């Protein structure tokens, strides 16, 4: 199999290729497996980029057999995959899927898993390399890690011999202390080089394109600093409400669910210095430096720099929808935030004085995520003489989803005898330019784990650093003792309070 020409394996990690292995999914019958993981593996198979010697084993408490697990996988792929099941290919593919019915607390189940792997791997030509995917609630991580070790399923990290790697889903903890505990548990059994903490935002094509755009082009980097940039807005807006995940979300809220991980990672790739090498540790060192420079928001400042809110009743897709507190599984007096907006600073030479505005929320008017870099106003001379109607500043927008691409807003002369300036957009769209569907984030990330490339995964110190920053905000909320949360009607852009973060210099949240 030639991998060099495939776009999925080209680029950031093209020196590394996926190794033959078994992928064991704990929580193999759960929502994440059905919606994301099994479809991702299938798409990789369709693209011919999986290692030739490869198999998948689902492990969970559901009473599946190999046969019924294959049917479950097919159903998930039919419903959620970006490409439908190809019947000509399926019969051959499904043989690589098998299942172990077991309980996480039962040592015998892990022995059965081991026996199953030992039995099937020779048939697939897999030399004992194993990737364990923990698609399970965080409360079970410690149990499963210990069971893996007790069952003799963990090989030490060594250059030779079969490898064991573990993929850990978010949330890793719910504050700094609990995250450190999870990481300590992992470290007792695995070497850091074996641990892949996944943040699916880093697998998105458009997020990787930020690296390429910044460091693969000459024109942006000279402007990428406080001399030219007025501020940066990072928005991750969701149209959906809490859906069926109230059990998890009630304990999390928008700050833990989206800011601690996805949004801070977007901030890191936007603000980091140019790494001196494209290797996992160098890139991650440079991203960590951003987190270390983030000015802590503590005590009373939390109220000044952070706005939280909850959606009330309103509209979505043109129909009435209930407020958060009326959603199934949500406490009627819940104070869980479904929206958060933050004004923060990266205190280093490059960014001194440039505010970064972060916002995310559920039940906003649409699903739209972007990073908008707003440049400074032109001087108030020549074309910009009217302070009542200043010229629109240049904005570079990196669209993460949907309509993946980027746009640069510039001022152009309106045709006609007078000099009138009108903002126009230079727009690049992935869809129209490349004409291909981008792979899903999980596809890229699974392939990277098989290749042993940790560039797009969270290192332990970064998890600590981001939780340290977020935990200050959580503490500030707790100390304020306030149980009042502003409400925004579902289907609107959040609470009025968020506007107050943006009062200086004609700044305003963008309407997406």
Residue 327 makes contact with ligand BG6 by CB under 6 A: no
**What are the contacts of 504-509 at 24+ separation with CB within 8 A?**
505/230, 506/390, 507/230, 507/231, 507/357, 507/374, 509/233, 509/235, 509/357, 509/359
Residue 291: phi and psi, rounded to 5, are: -60, -35
Q: Name the minimum Å distance from CB 340 to ligand BG6.
A: 12
Q: CB of 21: closest distance to ligand BG6 in angstroms?
A: 25
Instruction: Calculate the CA 493 to chain-centre distance.
Output: 22
- Among residues 203 and 323, whose Cβ is nearest to ligand BG6? 203
Query: Is residue 103 within 8 Å of 5, Cβ to Cβ?
Result: no
In the bound complex, what is the minimum distance in angstroms from residue 213's beta carbon to ligand BG6? 20
Residue number, nearest CB to ligand BG6: 257
Residue in 94, 230, 257, 404 binding ligand BG6, rule: CB under 6 A: 257
Between CA 348 and CA 201 the distance in angstroms is 25
Least Cα distance to 470 among 263, 239, 244 occurs for 263
Under rule CB under 6 A, residue 238 binds ligand BG6 = yes
Could you give the CA distance from residue 82 to residue 91 in angstroms, rounded to a whole number?
19
Comparing CB distances to ligand BG6, the nearer of 194 and 209 is 209
What is the distance between the alpha carbons of residues 261 and 264, in angstroms, rounded to a whole number?
A: 6
Residue span 185-214 as binding mask against ligand BG6, x where in contact by CB under 6 A, dash where not: ---------------x--------------
- 427: which strand partners? 407
Q: With respect to ligand BG6, which residue has the nearer C-beta, 244 or 482?
A: 244
Minimum CB distance to ligand BG6, residue 257 (Å): 5
SS3 141: helix
Q: Closer to ligand BG6 by CB, 205 or 238: give it.
A: 238
Give the active site residue among 89, 227, 231, 262: 262
When the beta carbons of 51 and 323 are compared against ligand BG6, the nearer one is: 323
- CA count, 13 A, side-chain hemisphere, 224: 18
CB of 16 to ligand BG6, least distance (A): 25
Element (H, E) at 381: none
Q: How far is the CB of 104 from ligand BG6 (least distance, A)?
A: 22
Pick the closer one to ligand BG6 by CB: 127 or 137.
Answer: 137
| Radius of gyration of the chain from its Cα atoms, rounded to whole angstroms | 24
Site membership for ligand BG6, residue 337 (CB under 6 A):
no
**How many residues in the shown chain lie near ligand BG6 by CB under 6 A?**
3
* Closer to ligand BG6 by Cβ: residue 205 or 230: 205
Token pair listed for 26: 């704990």
Contact 59, 100 (CB under 8 A): yes
**Residue 377 catalytic?**
no
Measured from the CB atom, the residue of 94 and 238 that comes closer to ligand BG6 is 238
The secondary structure of 456-498 as a DSSP string is TSB-HHHHHHHHHHHHHHHHHHHHH------EEETTSS--GGG
Reference 217, options 83, 406, 388; nearest CA is 406
- What minimum distance in Å lies between the beta carbon of 120 and ligand BG6? 32
- The DSSP secondary structure of 233-285, one letter per residue, reads EEEEE--S--TT-HHHHHHHHHIIIIIIIIIHHHHHHHHPPPPSS-SHHHHHH
Least distance in Å: CB of 31 to ligand BG6? 11
* Residue 238 or 448 with smaller CB distance to ligand BG6: 238
Site for ligand BG6 in 264-293 (CB under 6 A): none
The phi and psi torsions of 480 (rounded to 5 degrees) equal -65, -25
In angstroms, the CA 253 to CA 261 distance is: 13
Whether residue 106 contacts residue 142, with contact meaning beta carbons closer than 8 Å, is answered with no
CA 77, CA 115: separation in Å to the nearest integer? 28
**Closest approach of ligand BG6 to the CB of residue 200, in Å:** 6
* Site of interaction with ligand BG6 (CB under 6 A): 200, 238, 257
Give me the active site residues, please: 262
């Amino acid at each position: 199999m030639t991998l060099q020409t495939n776009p999925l394996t080209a680029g950031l990690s093209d020196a590394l290729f996926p190794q033959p292995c078994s992928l064991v999914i704990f929580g193999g019958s759960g929502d994440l497996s059905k919606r994301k993981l099994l479809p991702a593996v299938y798409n990789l198979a369709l693209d011919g980029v999986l290692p030739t010697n490869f198999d998948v084993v689902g492990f969970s408490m559901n009473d599946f057999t190999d046969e019924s697990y294959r049917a479950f996988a097919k159903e998930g792929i039919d419903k959620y995959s970006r490409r439908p099941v190809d019947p000509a290919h399926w019969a051959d593919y499904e043989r690589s899927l098998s299942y172990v019915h077991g309980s996480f607390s039962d040592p015998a189940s892990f022995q059965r898993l081991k026996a199953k792997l030992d039995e099937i791997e020779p048939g697939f030509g897999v030399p004992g390399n194993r990737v364990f995917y923990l698609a399970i609630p965080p409360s079970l991580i410690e149990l499963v890690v210990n069971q893996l070790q007790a069952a003799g399923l963990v090989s030490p990290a060594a250059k030779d011999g079969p490898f064991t790697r573990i993929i850990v889903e978010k949330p890793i903890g719910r504050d700094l202390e609990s995250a450190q505990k999870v990481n300590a548990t992992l470290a007792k059994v695995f070497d850091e080089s074996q641990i892949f903490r996944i943040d699916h935002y880093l697998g998105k094509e458009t997020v990787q394109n930020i690296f390429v755009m910044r460091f693969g082009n000459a024109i942006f980097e000279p402007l990428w600093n406080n001399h030219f940039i007025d501020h940066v807005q990072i928005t991750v807006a969701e149209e959906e409400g809490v859906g069926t995940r109230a059990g998890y979300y009630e304990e999390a809220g928008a700050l833990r669910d989206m800011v601690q991980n996805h949004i801070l990672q977007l901030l890191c790739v936007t603000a980091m210095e140019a790494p001196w090498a494209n290797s996992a540790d160098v890139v991650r060192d440079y991203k960590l430096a951003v987190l270390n420079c983030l000015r802590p928001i503590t005590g009373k400042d939390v109220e000044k720099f952070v706005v939280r809110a909850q959606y009330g009743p309103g509209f979505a897709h043109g129909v009435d929808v209930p407020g958060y507190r009326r959603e199934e599984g949500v406490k009627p007096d819940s104070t869980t935030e479904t929206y958060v907006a933050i004004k923060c600073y990266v205190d280093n030479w490059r960014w001194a004085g440039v505010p970064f505005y972060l916002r995310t929320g559920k039940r906003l008017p649409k699903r739209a995520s972007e990073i908008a870099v707003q440049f400074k106003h032109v001087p108030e001379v020549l074309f910009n003489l009217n302070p009542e109607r200043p010229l629109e500043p240049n904005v570079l927008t990196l669209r993460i989803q949907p309509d993946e691409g980027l746009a640069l807003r510039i001022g152009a002369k309106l045709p006609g005898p007078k000099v009138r300036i009108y903002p126009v957009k230079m727009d690049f769209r992935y869809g129209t330019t490349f004409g291909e569907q981008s792979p899903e984030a999980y596809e890229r990330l699974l392939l990277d784990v098989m290749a042993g490339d940790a560039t797009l995964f969270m290192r332990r110190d970064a998890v600590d650093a981001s939780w340290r920053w977020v935990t200050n905000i959580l503490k500030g909320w707790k100390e304020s003792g306030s149980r009042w949360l502003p409400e925004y009607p579902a289907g609107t852009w959040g609470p009025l309070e968020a506007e107050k973060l943006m009062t200086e210099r004609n700044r305003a949240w963008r309407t997406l």
